[in-house]
Structure 1
Amino acid sequence: MQTIFCTLPSKKRIKLDYGTRVSELIRSEAEFSAPPRPIIAALVNNELVSLSFKIEISSSLEPVSLDSVVGMRIYRNSLSFLLSRAVSELFPRRKLIIGHSLGHGYYFYFNSEEEISADDLEGIEKRMREIVARNEPIVRRVISYGEALDYFMKTGHHSRVELLRFRNEAKIPVYESGEHREIGYQPLVQSTGLLNLFELKPYSPGFLLRYPSSAAPDRVAKFSDNPVLFSVFMEYKAWGKILNVNSVGKLNRLVESQKIGDFIQVAEALHNKKIASIADRIAERRGTVRAVMIAGPSSSGKTTFTKKLGIQLKVLGFNPIAISLDDYFVPREKTPLDENGDYDFEALEAIDIELLNQHLIRLLKGEEIEIPLFDFIIGDRRPSGKYLKLNRRSILLMEGIHGLNDALTPQVDPETKYKVYVSALTQLNLDDRNRIPTTDNRLLRRMVRDHQFRGHSALRTLQMWPSVRRGEDRNIFPYQNNADSAFNSALDYELAVLKNYAETLLRTVKPFHREYAEAMRLTSFLHNFIGIPDREVPRDSILREFIGGSKFHY
């Protein structure tokens, strides 16, 4: 039998028989004998694999524990699988659909959109806990394309059939537990006994499947509602009904039928209609609102949104004036440092709040100010020679990550501010149980933009992303519910456009890079889309902010 070698995290190098399963290796090695958290997967040559994976080449191996970011993603996906199994056993004629994330939970509803009863929800949770108590295996298998297509057609899983119609692999990975089977996109836990931490919470008209966070993996945190985010999702879901596309398979069918152009026009028109309605709401407070504060996470399209909002405000008789918060950065030597000792430009303290507030108050009093200009080369502000004074028609547009945080403008009367939250919250699903994370949408936007306009590699973007996400969790998401309006910048067709750029970039990430697993996850995800040529994208689209060719200047 062929012998291969495996390097463990301790740098120990061991001999293995060809085809040794990851689970067998972990059970046999002392350094894995008492992990502080359960090991639920592994990185083999930086590729994320299940514990049943067979090692066939000399490799490095690193276990993935339940409390890691990757581990918690596996846990969440496995919980959704468990929920889907319980529902299929109790209500075989009802179709459960995943909606979106809300806090540390996923929103689910039935396709009939009927209100779920308390008795039904109690029954689902009871069945889930029974399956967990029996510690039943969740088995990964590979079946033929024909068998997969036939199974999902017979069981009425049309979104999976649609997805398979545009794939042609001879072998399709699936996960099975009891009589339940689903397409395998990413590893799941090996057995149901690990899935004991969850909560089902009614959330009309559906319910939430709540789970622990990686920061506190031993408990399900107290629920904190986010009505602004939920209202955006429900609005976007209504748009999905208008467009009649809520899954990747349906989007692919439109591309195949050469009807995508009309779809894109309607999607863009809905964007413009929403921006116009936000402008109308601002106009309702004419005479009171003097500044529009625009905030959102990275790559949410804030800059293009601000430009398009300015156009709509002009239609209503305003004179919009944009002020860049970047010009109010403190000098480089006063910039706070993050936990790694690097400059933290996303911290609130990186802004000269005192100067900003002085300028805003003077402007609102009708006085003239000189707008500063921050020179990123020297790391300090310098005179711009640009003077600003507001008239009665003027309204300030201020875009920045701290716009919803009142600590940014504590000296400005709250009545004079109108706050808008912008984010890309896609309603598109891979299939009924597998959602497209909104963070993946933004990550791909950023990856393409960073390469197109900043010369960054996909590897660099992936390396920076965890720090970006931590900054969002600290500086943006806690203030979402302060918004007067929310705008969803996601476009249901955009991932099929970004695919044409991102796939090539992701191939530059190699197996010896730690980010390889994330690159392969995104590559596998994009494989489900038929590409849409960028010539179909209107020049004033928010998507142009990331791929280039915009009519706006940035």
Structure 2
Amino acid sequence: MEQKVCSLTIRGETKQYPLDTTFQQIADEYQKQFENKIVLVKFQNDLKELSQSVLRDGSLEFVTADQKPGKDTYRRSLTLLMETAAWKLYPNLELLVQHSIGQGYYCEFRHKDAICVPDRKMLSSLKEKMQDFVKADLPIIKYNMNTQDASARFREMGRMDKVRLMRYRRSSRVNVYELQGFPDYYYGYMVPSTGYLEYFDLLLYQNGFMLMFPGKDPKVVAEFSASDKLFNTLNDSAQWGIDMGIRTVGELNDVIASGRIQDMILVQESYMEQKIGDIAETIASDRRKKFVLIAGPSSSGKTTFSHRLSIQMTAHGLKPHPISLDDFYCNREETPLDENGEFDFECLEALDIPLFNQCMTDLLAGKEVTLPVFNFKTGHREYRQKPLKMGPDDVLVIEGIHGLNEKLSYELPKENKYKIYISALTQLNIDDHNNLSTADGRLIRRMVRDARTRNTTARETLARWHSVRRGEEKNIFPYQEEADIMFNSALIYELSVLKLYAEPLLFSIDTTCPEYPEAKRLLKFLDYFLPVPGENIGHNSILREFIGGSCFHV
């Protein structure tokens, strides 16, 4: 009998392979042409695991460990490796993946809801067991199971986080991965075997440890730089979620399904207002603070936060004046160019730093100053505001991506500055082992806002996101620990609201577009959440900055 074959277009040439050839076999054939390990393939613009087989004709691309889908796959697979090793060594302990910090995950051991703090010996044993599994190149087995059967299996193991998550899955089937007899559910793709996972490290930190991943170079584990302020902010938010009985997406869905979500929205907003009020009280208690500098990554809600903080400061007897660093942009012809010869509006040098410092020092000295307004249509600064003169109760609330960088405000005395870092640091995880990316939450916020305010398609937002993230890594994240305080703008319920706005935008992306695989991933991500209508969200909520209807006209 003649063997059936498929025609695949790979790197500009068409080759034939026997039907049911695995993508791993094809990847092995081409691996020598790539500097980094192939961990996935893109077949007909759809991501596929290497363990899958060729079933029809089509075009094939390789995804390596230095590309975003490859990095995500590596992290996910390494998490399964860690969980399996911990299960083998410490079967009476529960290992939770808590927060993403830098290029790693913060993890904790628990025993009956109490933290079990690891020591060096314990962590060394875990790392050695993981390395043994890597050397053995053990297969990661994938099962496509009936959702109810998978849920029953996890219930038998006492894994109620999985049971709760699967209760709300619309799909009748789920993928369960198994390593060395340890089954788990993961959001996304996996490598075919443990031999792909040789680059990692485990480091003691706080009451747990960090699982460290490779950085830009997929063959070099990233160095860990302790971010204690960020950790404490994440931990406080996570603890508040635990106090509310909402630590995972499944628990959030329980609240929605039981009709208690409106109360939770009110409690969350009250908690956030209290936090903003505490910051305003701190500023008001030290009348030397004249410059409140606010910075954070894209879609953190900086504008709404600035307005709400100003209101709270007013209630404490201060007179806040909002200032945007964008108004201190250099005139267009003076704007630096990036490596592609295009205007680089995100670099520090795009701002007229001497002018900013001159204006601020003059105001601090009690002089009357006319501040610029940048005209984005003409690309030039204009002076059409009323002059400003600061009195004893006046405070400038300055918002912009470089606010925490001392090079921006080098002439201003430190005792006169109060720096705030704001970001949407979600307190939820999908379940005990699936980290919920804060960047994904901000991306969905931005997509919804851009479609509403700028008529930007979801495809365009996704296409630009890599550049946005690159700018954040360069201009914002390195300075976050210099903040006097960090504010978490994430709302525990927000993705359930954003889901209703984001899904139609993502469905509009055609399957042939380069952004389709990312759109498909985000649609699967949003599918975990039960929807919540946005009608009853307060008009001063940070979420209104993205879905519309804000009383601050943002």
Scaled to the shorter chain, the TM-score interval is: over 0.9
Matching of residues 199-238 of structure 1 within 5 Å = 199-213=201-215, 215-238=216-239
Q: Is the 8 A contact 1:359 1:369 kept in 2?
A: yes
Deviation for aligned residue 1:391: 1.2
Deviation for aligned residue 1:122: 2.1
Measure, in 1, the Cα distance between the counterparts of 2:408 and 2:125.
48
Alignment partner of 1:412 is 2:441? no
Please name the residue that 1:94 is paired with: 93
Name the aligned partner's letter for residue 531 of structure 2. G
1:387-445 CA-partner distances (Å, limit 9, x unpaired): 21111110000000000001111111121110000001112011100011110010000
1:112-150 CA-partner distances (Å, limit 9, x unpaired): 223223332222222211211211011222112222011
Q: Is the 8 A contact 1:98 1:107 kept in 2?
A: yes
Deviation for aligned residue 1:38: 1.4
Q: Is the 8 A contact 1:243 1:266 kept in 2?
A: no
Q: Is the 8 A contact 2:95 2:108 kept in 1?
A: yes
Name the aligned partner's letter for residue 347 of structure 1. C
Please name the residue that 1:114 is paired with: 116
Q: Is the 8 A contact 1:294 1:420 kept in 2?
A: yes
Alignment partner of 1:524 is 2:524? yes
Measure, in 1, the Cα distance between the counterparts of 2:530 and 2:71.
30
Please name the residue that 2:450 is paired with: 450
Please name the residue that 2:269 is paired with: 268
Please name the residue that 1:548 is paired with: 548
Measure, in 1, the Cα distance between the counterparts of 2:471 and 2:127.
35
Please name the residue that 2:437 is paired with: 437
Please name the residue that 1:461 is paired with: 461
SS in 1 for 2:427: coil
1:234-280 CA-partner distances (Å, limit 9, x unpaired): 11122112211010000011111110011111111111111111112
Please name the residue that 1:44 is paired with: 43
SS in 1 for 2:486: strand
193-202 vs 470-479, greater mean Cα deviation: 193-202
Deviation for aligned residue 1:66: 1.5
Q: Is the 8 A contact 1:46 1:515 kept in 2?
A: no
**Which one of the candidate residues 173, 190, 193 is aligned to 1:191?**
193
Name the aligned partner's letter for residue 424 of structure 1. A
Measure, in 1, the Cα distance between the counterparts of 2:280 and 2:19.
64
526-535 vs 328-337, greater mean Cα deviation: 328-337
Measure, in 2, the Cα distance between the counterparts of 1:452 and 1:17.
49
1:71-101 CA-partner distances (Å, limit 9, x unpaired): 2221111111111111111222322111111
Scaled by the length of structure 1, what TM-score is found? 0.96
Measure, in 2, the Cα distance between the counterparts of 1:217 and 1:5.
31
Deviation for aligned residue 1:18: 4.6
Please name the residue that 2:59 is paired with: 60
Deviation for aligned residue 1:17: 4.6
Measure, in 2, the Cα distance between the counterparts of 1:540 and 1:207.
38
Deviation for aligned residue 1:34: 4.2
Alignment partner of 1:26 is 2:27? yes
Measure, in 2, the Cα distance between the counterparts of 1:223 and 1:406.
23
Unaligned residue ranges in structure 1 (runs of 5+) = none
Measure, in 2, the Cα distance between the counterparts of 1:145 and 1:233.
32
Name the aligned partner's letter for residue 384 of structure 1. R
Q: Is the 8 A contact 2:36 2:218 kept in 1?
A: no
Please name the residue that 1:375 is paired with: 375
Scaled by the length of structure 2, what TM-score is found? 0.96
Measure, in 2, the Cα distance between the counterparts of 1:456 and 1:421.
27
SS in 1 for 2:162: helix
Deviation for aligned residue 1:469: 0.5
Measure, in 1, the Cα distance between the counterparts of 2:4 and 2:340.
44
Please name the residue that 1:282 is paired with: 283
Deviation for aligned residue 1:19: 4.2
Please name the residue that 1:147 is paired with: 149
Name the aligned partner's letter for residue 146 of structure 2. S
Please name the residue that 1:321 is paired with: 321
Matching of residues 273-352 of structure 1 within 5 Å = 273-286=274-287, 288-352=288-352
SS in 2 for 1:406: coil
Deviation for aligned residue 1:16: 4.2
Please name the residue that 2:504 is paired with: 504
Deviation for aligned residue 1:516: 1.2
Deviation for aligned residue 1:3: 5.2
Please name the residue that 1:254 is paired with: 255
192-201 vs 390-399, greater mean Cα deviation: 192-201
Identity of aligned residues (%): 42
What is the CA RMSD across the aligned residues, in angstroms? 1.5
Measure, in 1, the Cα distance between the counterparts of 2:378 and 2:59.
44
Alignment partner of 1:6 is 2:8? yes
Please name the residue that 2:392 is paired with: 392
Please name the residue that 2:533 is paired with: 533
Name the aligned partner's letter for residue 336 of structure 1. P
1:130-185 CA-partner distances (Å, limit 9, x unpaired): 21121101122211222201111011111110010011322211111110111242
233-242 vs 114-123, greater mean Cα deviation: 114-123
Measure, in 2, the Cα distance between the counterparts of 1:65 and 1:32.
10
Deviation for aligned residue 1:206: 1.0
Name the aligned partner's letter for residue 231 of structure 1. N
1:328-380 CA-partner distances (Å, limit 9, x unpaired): 11111111122222221111111111111111111111111112111111111
Q: Is the 8 A contact 1:295 1:402 kept in 2?
A: yes
Deviation for aligned residue 1:216: 2.2
SS in 1 for 2:246: coil
SS in 1 for 2:187: coil
441-450 vs 505-514, greater mean Cα deviation: 505-514
Measure, in 2, the Cα distance between the counterparts of 1:389 and 1:445.
37
SS in 1 for 2:535: helix
